[in-house]
Amino acid sequence: MTKLVWAFLSVLAGVLIGLSLTTLAVERPPDFGVHQAGPWITRPRIGSVDADPYSKALLAARGEVPLATAEGVQFRASRDSDGARLTGRCTYRVVGPVPQAAYWTLTVYRGDGTTAEAAGLRGGYTSSEILVFERAQPEFLLSPDPQPGNWLPLQPDIDFEVSLRLYDTQVSSNLNALDAASMPAIRRQACR
Amino acid sequence: MIGPFIYTLLVLVVAGIIHLSTVLVMPWVATRDGFLRASALARDNSMIVLSATEVRNALPYTDPAQAVAVCRFVLDRGPVRVRLATADWPTTILFLRKGAGIFHSLTEKAATQGVVDVVIATSEQMDKITALDSDDDPVQELRVTAPVDIGIVLVRSLVRTDSEREGVMKQLRNTSCEAETL
């Protein structure tokens, strides 16, 4: 009888641990097939049938339809260049080279996948509409307070993530050549 | 001494099985995944252009610079043809199925004479279509064999500047998604 109770408890513990691991895997998916360049992470196969099971589970949980492989490459950052989580309480300067692409966009997402556009504010920029000073690299200010230049508003009380999407690009064929120096840096400035 | 080892092993094995099976099953049973969210806005074999508000509310993590149109292809009555006139901006046609996500995609670069003309059909329908091909006339249309009878076609165009939005929406409104008879 004692053995039966122990076996039942072991199975129960196994089920709970298994479900907890799945929750963790969706919230912080393992880095199978991931390419990292500075704070930016991309999952090159996420927009194809070859996506790994963890990427598919992540998409299902987020309700997201990713960029298709033919469409482009999407990089995400949920941490700054020093590894700290991106929070809406702080101002960030995003500056640096953008990999070769016909067009690209930079978007700030809240945890539920919405942008500041839901509140009538700007949620992102396309490469065709940013202000770039002569010979300078693209520069953005992500901040809860209005900023000059390419400002993207943040909601002060929540963490956020940034997406850099490259459209019509050959980058995916040579991702290993991309490192932190090839991508925009995300530098934290002042915090509230 | 063997008892604790056996029970620990049992915990690990059950945890592994539960973890792997739930990860694999999740895309198939998820009730709020991208496929079902897009499907809720779609009509059978008819292209619907979504407003920016609909995209924002229904399709999380979509690029706000993209305009979106959606069609649910239903192949039980015959293949479905999607026709899209290309423009200056990048446009992508995605084919999705429940569980597996995107199973095919193509861009405006696949156009012939400014039009992307895609036929989506089951493998049986595709066999009939290819049997009707003539050796004298080269096939102009693109053909996609669907692994399922019901799926989603998503058309996404990049709105590079706000001034182009009306042109992009017009392009999507003129995009068709219609069933054909064999």
Structure tokens at A154: 């943040």
ipTM: 0.90
**In whole angstroms, what separates CA A85 from the centre of its chain?**
11
**CA dihedral in degrees (B105, B110, B114, B115; nearest 10)?**
-50
Establish if B2 touches chain A: CB-CB under 8 angstroms. Answer: no
Average pLDDT in chain A: 92
Q: What is the mean pLDDT of residues B8-19?
A: 95
Token digits for B165?
Answer: 């939005």
Res B96 pLDDT > 80: yes
Q: Which residue has the higher pLDDT, B121 or B140?
A: B121
Is the pLDDT at B1 greater than 60? The verdict is no
Per-domain residue ranges of chain B: 1-29, 31-179
Q: What is the average pLDDT across B39-53?
A: 96
Fold of the B31-179 domain: Immunoglobulin-like (2.60.40)
- Reply yes or no on whether the pLDDT at A65 is more than 90: yes
For chain A, where are the E strands, in sequence order? 35-37, 40-42, 72-77, 90-95, 103-110, 124-126, 139-143, 151-153, 160-167, 185-191
User: Nearest by CB to B27, which of A56, A105, A165?
Assistant: A56
Residues of B in contact with A71 (CB under 8 A): 90, 92, 94, 105, 107, 156
Q: Which has the closest alpha carbon to B63: A107, A79, A13? A: A107
Residue closest to A88 by CA, chosen among A67, A55, A115: A115
User: In the predicted model, what is the mean pLDDT of residues A15-42?
Assistant: 90
pLDDT digits (tens, 9 = 90+) for A144-179: 999 999 999 999 989 999 999 999 998 888 888 899
Which residue is listed with tokens 């996948």?
A: A113
Are A162 and A77 in contact by the 8 Å Cβ rule? The answer is: yes
